[in-house]
Structures are given as structure tokens and as C-alpha cells.
Structure 1
Amino acid sequence: MPAYKRILLKLSGEALMGEDSYGINRGTIVRMVREVQEITNLGCQVAVVIGGGNIFRGVAGGSVGMDRATADYMGMLATVMNSLALADTMRQEGMTARVMSAISIEQVVEPYVRPKALQYLEEGKIVVFAAGTGNPFFTTDTAAALRGAEVGAEVVLKATKVDGVYSADPNKDPTATRYSTIAFDEAIARNLQVMDATAFALCRDQKLPIRVFSINKPGALKRVVLGEDEGTLVHV
């Protein structure tokens, strides 16, 4: 039985690139979708927030000097593209996903409505939240914390390239050690970069734990959901 009934999975857009410099790597997105399918087969209800960095990276050169709010809206549109790709891959793998956007693009995806999202989750559908919070100056980390709190997720699973939170950058310091668990206040005191400050504060205030793990590690998502010692748990 899964340790968590309902989760919010936060994926970075960069995680979809695989070995590519930008865009979506087909093999990578299929592998991730199959890992999500494994945990839904265990009875876990899954909501997803995905970033747009992989798409936005392809146009980043032209955004130099651009107004921050305009660039953020472009980033939101990139998350919509990723969300559509993720949902379509899920469909091809025999799953049912619904994309809900924080900004109105009703010809493409349905708007985010909390009761409808909760209904979809109860029905066993995957809910992919697109367009962040719908506001500039807020990251998709903050969107993950916000949506996780709104839908009653038991944990935010932050999928990264690193298999947890370390005492220092493991790529630069070979003596860096991984925390199995760490309290929010200790993470703040040690200045550990778990999420952006707004998202981190929201999770702490809502007593919503964060589990940081590597999405590139085969089977890691399933082990996290089963409550095994995978990644780092940040808790109150």
C-alpha cells in the first residue's frame, strides 16, 4: 500500500529534455509517464505541476532585456505546452489525464477550478496544472505548493536531477552528505536551496511536507510513494 494517498508531483521542464539541449525528449517523457503509471496502479492519486524551462530555453536569447512580467507570461505558455505533451503521452500509455490552466485558454485546455480538480482526482484521473499560478513573479515551485495545499495533497514530491538535499553541492564538494530528513527551520538556518523562498514558506505554513528526489533514478518515484528511504523529506 502506498504511504501517500494523494500527491503533488513537481517536475522541472528541464527534466523532459533528457540529453537534448532543449525541447522534449520522447524517450524521457515516456519513461516518466510509465513511472507515474506505476504509482497510480498502487492506488495513489496524482496531480502534476511542470515547469517550462525546456521550451523557454529555446527562445531565451530573444528574451534578453525583456520586461520580466512579459517573460513570465511566456514561461507560463511554455508550461501549457509541456502539460499538453505530458497528458498526451499519458493517453498513449492508457492513462486518463486532464490539463487545467491558471490562465484562460479554453480552446486548448480547461480552466483551473478547484472542485473539478478534486473530482478528477477522486475519479482516478491525473490532473496536470498548467500556467503556474497564473501570475508573473511566481515560480512553478510556488504553483506546486499552492495547488498541493488546495487539493489536499499529503506531500509535494519535487523531482530533480539530484537525489535529495545535501549539506553542500555534491557536484563541487565530494564530502557533501545527503539528509534523509530535515526540518523546515533547519533547512532555512542552513540556507539549503530546497525550493524558492515563497514556495518553501507556503509549504511550511501549511505543514505540507516536501520530498526531494531524483527523477532520473529508475524506480525512485515508486520507492518514495511506498515510504522507503529515498531522497530527502523536509517536514515541520
Structure 2
Amino acid sequence: MAPAYKRILLKVSGEALAGDNSFGIEPQFLQEIARQIADAAKSGVQIAIVVGGGNIFRGMAGAADGTDRVTADLMGMLGTMINALALSSAISRQGVKSKPYSAASMPSVADTFTAREAKASLEEGYVVVLGGGTGNPFFTTDTASTLRAIELECDVVLKGTKVDGVYSEDPMQNPHATRYDTVSYDEVIGKNLRVMDTAAFALARDNNMPIIVYALNDEAGLAGVLSGTSRSTRVGKSN
């Protein structure tokens, strides 16, 4: 059966890469995510990935205390590049070509992102892993995910988190929180359902880019989300 999507943008949070650790990268979880991505790529799906940096930046929080916002955001961008290099390498070890890109110029570390070159790499069968956020302070990697999905002409943004969809409240804090199977962009923004930031949802709404939120540790993994068999929430236009 043909994949439901030809090209996807997968957002992987830094916190998710930490697994059960408070910060850093949990090797076993990294390999499991890489395996899921490689399996999807082998099925014919073109995959771009934006990684966050919270798992790295949390470990630097003490050093960043009192730092101005611009400098702190630049530190966060460096954290995303650590994750991007780690994930790209792990995917390559699964037998799938992968190429890291950086939004900020780091020529000795990774190619600088351009939509033209990243699309060419996708067409050539590479999984592209995008670090550095948007390359600018004051923008989150959630916003970077939506922006890159639009630039790369992806069919959907998949947001991998620690929970299986969008809830009315944090289900970790309130086990009675309401879970949504589908929700509109305007509802997410109006109700301040903060699985992604408002700018990311507004950008998705204005460009009609659907977002699917799912749990990274779902038993069926990425394949389950792509086939529609795993629990998830679809964010899109109102009916």
C-alpha cells in the first residue's frame, strides 16, 4: 500500500530525546527513534526532521542564568545542532542516507540550510535533519518546524511528544484532562492548548499545513501514525 504522505516534517523535541533522563540523550531511545524514521524512509516517505534542544539547554541552564535572551537563544540553537548531528548519525547507522543542515552558518559542522538544497536532498533519498531553529532568536523550534514544512512543501507536520495528542490541560498534571481527536487551528490558539506555540499554529493555519500530534513512545511508532492506526490528534481547518 502506498504511504499516506509523500513528504513529512517530523518535529522531535529535545526533551523526548532525553528519554527518562533529566537532560542529555538517552542512547537506546535515540536508536529507537532512528529505527522508526529509517523504516518509514525505506517505505518511500521523504522525511525532514526539526529537532529541539531542551535536553541540552536544560543542562546548561545554570550557565545561562542571567544571560540576555538573544545569547540564551543562541546557546539553545547550538543545543539543537548537537541533537541534529546525533540523530542524523543514528539514522545513517540504520542504513538510510541522512544529511544534517544548520540554519546558522557552521560550515565545519553541517551544510547551511536552504530550501532548494534540502529539497534536492529529499528527492535524492536523504533524510534531512534540520538544526539551529529558524536561525534567529525569539523563535521556537515549533515555529521552525512549521516554517520548514511550508518551505519544503511537506504534506504534514508530525509533532512527536511524550503524550498521545492534544489535551485541554497537561495530562501529566491532570489525568482527567480532555483529549481531542481533531481540533481546529483557531480552537488550539483560542484555548491556548500549548502543545506547540501560538506562532507555529498561526503559521500553519495561514498556510493550511496540517499538524498531527502523537506520542513518540507509541508501540506502533511512526509507522502507526503514518497508517492512522495510532492515537493522535489532527490539527487543521474547521469543518
Conserved 8 A contact 1:11-1:51: yes
Within a 5 Å distance, the mapping from 1:169-180 to structure 2 comes to: 169-180=170-181
- Bigger shift: 84-93 or 70-79? 84-93
**Aligned with 2:47: secondary structure?**
strand
**Aligned with 1:33: secondary structure?**
helix
**Aligned with 2:139: secondary structure?**
coil
- Bigger shift: 36-45 or 225-234? 225-234
What is aligned with 1:71? 72
Within a 5 Å distance, the mapping from 1:1-236 to structure 2 comes to: 1-228=2-229, 230-236=231-237
Conserved 8 A contact 1:73-1:136: yes
Partners of 1:172 and 1:21 in 2: CA distance: 18
Conserved 8 A contact 2:42-2:96: no
- Bigger shift: 57-66 or 185-194? 185-194
Partners of 1:70 and 1:209 in 2: CA distance: 32
Conserved 8 A contact 1:180-1:229: no
Instruction: Kindly provide the amino acid, as one letter, of the partner of residue 166 in structure 1.
Output: Y
In the TM superposition, what is the alpha-carbon distance from 1:229 to its structure 2 partner? 5.2
Conserved 8 A contact 2:133-2:140: yes
Conserved 8 A contact 1:194-1:200: no
In the TM superposition, what is the alpha-carbon distance from 1:176 to its structure 2 partner? 2.2
Partners of 1:143 and 1:181 in 2: CA distance: 23
Q: After TM superposition, what 4+ stretches of structure 1 lie above 3 angstroms from structure 2?
A: none
Conserved 8 A contact 2:158-2:213: yes
- Aligned-residue RMSD, C-alpha: 1.2
Partners of 1:184 and 1:229 in 2: CA distance: 21
Partners of 2:195 and 2:28 in 1: CA distance: 28
Aligned length: 236
Instruction: Kindly provide the amino acid, as one letter, of the partner of residue 17 in structure 2.
Output: L
Where in structure 1 are there 5+ consecutive unaligned residues?
none
Partners of 2:21 and 2:175 in 1: CA distance: 27
Where in structure 2 are there 5+ consecutive unaligned residues?
none
Instruction: Kindly provide the amino acid, as one letter, of the partner of residue 8 in structure 2.
Output: I
CA shift in 2, pair 1:23/1:172, >3 Å: closer
Normalising by structure 1, we get a TM-score of 0.96
Conserved 8 A contact 1:49-1:129: yes
Conserved 8 A contact 1:87-1:99: yes
Partners of 2:172 and 2:137 in 1: CA distance: 32
CA shift in 2, pair 1:207/1:116, >3 Å: same
**Aligned with 2:118: secondary structure?**
helix
In the TM superposition, what is the alpha-carbon distance from 1:177 to its structure 2 partner? 2.7
Conserved 8 A contact 2:214-2:232: yes
Partners of 2:174 and 2:18 in 1: CA distance: 26
**Aligned with 1:49: secondary structure?**
strand
In the TM superposition, what is the alpha-carbon distance from 1:186 to its structure 2 partner? 2.0
Instruction: Kindly provide the amino acid, as one letter, of the partner of residue 176 in structure 1.
Output: A
